[in-house]
Structure formats: structure tokens, C-alpha cells
Amino acid sequence: MGGRGFTPRLDFTSTRPIYLQIVDEVRRAIARGELRPGDRLPSQRDLAVQARVNPNTVQRAYREMELLNMTETVRGEGTFVAQNPVLIRSLRAEMAQEALQQFLQEMRALGFDGSEIRALVDQALTGDGGGGASRG
């Protein structure tokens, strides 16, 4: 063991291509600190088996991440998370802002104003047991 490494959760019913979902999951793992610079990703073949997808799909995802400077690959050795401390550091905040803006845009498209949005978020976080507020 110790070889668990990383396994993306994929949604095969989504309209988003699988190879992009893999990229997204790796990006989240990096943002979360779960994958750190220098860490080795599973081999293309291994990940293909774990995620139940074709090796070619994983290959495409890895190629994409290489182009995005998320990873660095060494032929014959493997694929590693890029050494980009600054980039990594801002990644989490950037992705959060992205999610936030998308959420706000959708809510406003539905005609909700700021106070309503705030109330709904608050309600969801309270009722959902969010924020570590263990509520009796």
C-alpha cells in the first residue's frame, strides 16, 4: 500500500468530458494541499484501471495538465505535480472565487438579491451542520 495516491471521482452522466473532469479533480487536490509539488501522480495505466476509463482518456488528461503547467512528466518515471509554490498557493483562492462568482451569477439570474442569497447560504450552512458548528 501507500500506493493509494489519488483517485478522482468522475461523473459519467455529465456533459463535461471525462478527461477534463480528471484535470479538475487533480486541480482540486492540489488546491486542497492533498497533492503537493513534487508528488507523483498514478501512472496513466493505473489511473485508468482505478477510474474505470480508457488509458487513452487518462493520457489526454495528463497531456492537458502538462500544457497547463500543472504537472511535469519524466519519460519512464512518471508524472509529478509541478514545482510552482506561488501558483499553487493562489490556486485555492482562485478556484474559490470562481465557484463563488458562478454561484452568485446563477442566483442573480434567478432573481435573488444579496440579502436573500446570504440568508439561503446561512440557512444551508446552519441546517447542514456546516462550519464545524456541531449543533444539537
Binding site for a copy of itself (CB under 8 A): 15-17, 20, 28, 31-33, 92, 95-96, 99-104, 106-107, 109-118, 120-122, 124-125, 128, 130-133
Q: Is 42 exposed, middle or buried (0-12, 13-18, 19+ CB in 10 A)?
A: buried
What are the beta bridge partners of residue 73?
A: 79
- Of residues 46 and 117, the one with the C-beta less far from DNA: 46
Q: Are residues 111 and 96 in contact, defined by beta-carbon separation less than 8 angstroms?
A: no
- Of residues 23 and 88, the one with the C-beta less far from DNA: 23
The entry of DNA, a copy of itself, none that residue 43 binds, CB within 5 to 8 Å by partner kind = DNA
* Minimum CB distance to a copy of itself, residue 65 (Å): 17
* d(C-alpha 80, C-alpha 112), whole Å: 43
- Of residues 40 and 92, the one with the C-beta less far from a copy of itself: 92
The entry of a copy of itself, DNA, none that residue 45 binds, CB within 5 to 8 Å by partner kind = DNA
Question: Which spans of this chain sit near DNA (rule: CB under 7 A)?
Answer: 15-20, 41, 43-46, 52-57, 59-60, 62-63, 66, 73-79
* Minimum CB distance to DNA, residue 91 (Å): 21
- Give the 3-state secondary structure of residue 30: helix
Cell numbers that stand for 132 in this block: 464545524
DSSP string, 85-116: HHHHHHHHHHHHHHHHHHHHHHHHHTT--HHH
- Of residues 28 and 40, the one with the C-beta less far from a copy of itself: 28
* d(C-alpha 69, C-alpha 108), whole Å: 34
